[in-house]
């Protein structure tokens, strides 16, 4: 089954490489994601998961890898469910 977070990132990040070639720890900015594309990733995740990234998460560190984005979405979804 396809990883939904990877599907969103692949669709919105405009990467230079296939997302299947990246591990959860690879740097998305080094893989071609621009800062404007990172905004698209944020908007896509917010739309798909009905969440909103708070200011404390609007950093390159959060958007740097698939893993950090996965953790952020999980935290926000947990918060929404609580």
Residues that bind another protein (CB under 8 A): 34-37, 39-40, 42-44, 46-47, 55-62
Tokens of 16: 């230079």
Rounded to a whole number of angstroms, the distance between the first and last alpha carbons of the chain is 27
Q: Which of 20, 54 has the CB closer to another protein? A: 54
Minimum distance from residue 48 beta carbon to another protein (Å): 12
State the nearest-atom distance from the C-beta of 35 to another protein, in Å.
6
Helix axes 4-12, 35-49, angle to 10 degrees: 140
Tokens of 15: 């990467």
Residue number, 21 or 35, with CB nearest to another protein: 35
């Amino acid at each position: 089954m396809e990883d939904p977070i990877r599907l969103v990132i692949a669709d919105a990040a405009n990467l230079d490489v296939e997302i299947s070639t990246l591990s959860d720890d690879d740097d998305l900015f080094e893989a071609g994601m621009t800062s404007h594309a990172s905004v698209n990733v944020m908007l896509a995740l917010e739309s798909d998961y009905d969440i909103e990234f708070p200011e404390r998460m609007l950093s390159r560190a959060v958007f740097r890898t698939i893993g950090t984005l996965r953790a952020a979405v999980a935290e926000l979804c947990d918060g929404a469910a609580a």
